[in-house]
Structure 1
Amino acid sequence: MAEPYAFTIGELTLIRNAGRDTSWLRGTVLMPEGTPSEEVVLIDSGLVKVTRAAENGYTSVLAVRGPGELLGELSCLDGRPRSATVTAMESVRGTVVSGERFRRLLAARGDLSLAVLRSVTARLRDADRLRAEHGAFPAGVRVARVLHEMALRYGEAVDGMPGALAVRVNQQELAGAAGTSRESLVRAFADLERDGLIVRRRGRTLVTDPAGLGSWLGG
């Protein structure tokens, strides 16, 4: 995952002033796939996962989003039903802006419109890169790359373990984000744990040496 486009403080303030504060508990669906787009959400704290269900019942994890990122802006702009489901992975707080007000805000503020366009462009580039990587790297490397990037982007410091970062994403979600099976992820985790790069915990993974994991990826 490439680093998401970072909105400026002024841009975030514009969005927050146009909406209302809302919170969601872990497991709550913020946006169901296939429903009409009526609002956008700016995440203030917590993580959500973006998933899509296939006809055979398999659910793919398309992305993980966190603080400072927008949700639902594409459907809000083109008027089509939501293409994915957004679910809270932990307690989440955010700002909800109605679709009509969001569109008026973009029409009135060209600078914010450009910022949203840059954010969307960054996500499209990221999606293209991930598709290319799924064909270029074996499952174990894809798992390690996703874990490393999530740790750097969303990881939390761990008490008593200087430099370590906790990733609060379960193994099924990591496997989906890496485009691999749970079995392949377990094998990759065993290799990483043997090399002293991670420690597994219930509901989270501790990346004990982020720099070492990055070096491991470089071969």
Structure 2
Amino acid sequence: MTGQNAFSREQLGLIHGAGRGRVWERGEAVVSEGAPSTDVVLIEAGLVKITTELENGYTSVLAVRGPGELLGELSCLDGMPRSATATALERVRGTVVPGERFRRLLSAHGALALAVLRSVAARLRDSDRLRAEHGAYPAVVRIARVLAEVALRHGEPDPELPGALTVRVNQRELAGAAGTSRESLVRAFATLEAEALIVRRRGHTLVTDVERLGGWNGA
């Protein structure tokens, strides 16, 4: 898979070597909101959605995570309960590292600790940007930007169309990540397909021009 990875191969090896392997099937919770922070998970294959439950009963999709990314590292560091749920969108394989062992690993390897800090900072910046965009752009533009980001981080190259990326995240999750309804997403997809930015296929979406999609402003 393509994607932006905050950790070097050596750093990922350190994390992998400190834990034990585990597999989660589609729909299974990898970590659960409100649960005690006992370990950190390194995703090695597959995608998870990050969600939180709001007071009105609405489930908000915060992000999609994939290979090379950590789950639960912030709770592990501050000792607070999990702030969100991570659910497998497909079969996920990962490494589970006990919290105390993870903290010792960071103490012993300064470069790894700095990489974790940078990863957390990048997520906070992404969260701030998304909140700002939700109020500044119409749904179709928000959907385009979320789809472009997921494609860049977790898209799979299409063998038939050079430069195109396959996104295996369903419409409900994309709508939640963009802060809009599924009905609005269906209308937005029709617009984006008419602009030749995406192709809808059974079970996935093909992004034909991720750079143009990410900068598209609806004009």
- Same-fold status (TM-score > 0.5): yes
Q: Is the 8 A contact 1:165 1:208 kept in 2?
A: yes
Coordinate RMSD, CA, aligned: 1.7
1:131 maps to 2:109:
no
Quote the Cα distance in structure 2 between the aligned partners of 1:14 and 1:162: 35
Give the counterpart letter for 1:124 in structure 2.
Answer: L
- Counterpart CA distance in 1 for 2:18 and 2:211 is 40
**1:51 to 2:58 alignment:** no
Deviation at 1:196, TM superposition (A): 2.3
Give the Cα–Cα distance (whole angstroms) in 2 for the partners of residues 33 and 22 of structure 1: 20
In structure 1, the gaps of 5 or more residues are: none
CA contact (8 A) 2:20 2:95 kept: yes
Task: Tell which deviates more after alignment, 197-206 or 115-124.
Answer: 197-206
CA distance in 1: counterparts of 2:18 and 2:132, whole angstroms: 38
Q: Give, in whole Å, the separation in 2 of the partners of 1:187 and 1:83.
A: 32
1:204 matches 2:209: no
1:1-219 to structure 2, matched below 5 A, reads: 6-214=6-214, 216-217=216-217, 219=219
- Letter of the 2:85 partner, please give it: T
Residues 5 and 122 in structure 1, CA contact (< 8 A), matched pair in contact too: no
Residues 35 and 193 (structure 1), Cα distance of their counterparts in 2 relative to 1, 3 Å cut: same
Letter in 2 for 1:53: E
Deviations 1:117-163 (A, max 9, x none): 11111111111111111111111100011111211221112232333
What are the superposed Cα offsets for residues 163-210 of structure 1, whole Å, 9 maximum, x if unpaired? 321100100000011111111111111111122222222331111333
Shift in Å, 1:55: 1.8
What SS is found at the alignment partner of 1:23? strand
Distance between the aligned counterparts of 2:200 and 2:177, measured in 1? 18
Kept in 1: contact 2:145–2:215 (CA 8 A): no
On the 8 A contact 2:149/2:214 being kept in 1, the answer is no
User: Which one-letter code corresponds to 2:73 in the other structure?
Assistant: E
Structure 1 residue 32: Cα displacement: 0.9
Determine helix, strand or coil for the equivalent of 1:161.
Answer: coil
Question: With structure 1 as the length reference, what TM-score do the two structures score?
Answer: 0.93
4+ residue segments displaced more than 3 Å: 214-219
Contact residue 5 and residue 118 of structure 1 kept, 8 A = no
* Unmatched tracts of structure 2, length 5 or more: none
CA distance in 2, matches of 1:214, 1:52: 25
TM-superposition CA deviations, 1:57-95 (whole Å, max 9, x none): 110001111111110011111111101000011111111
- 2:166 & 2:72 partners in 1: Cα distance? 27
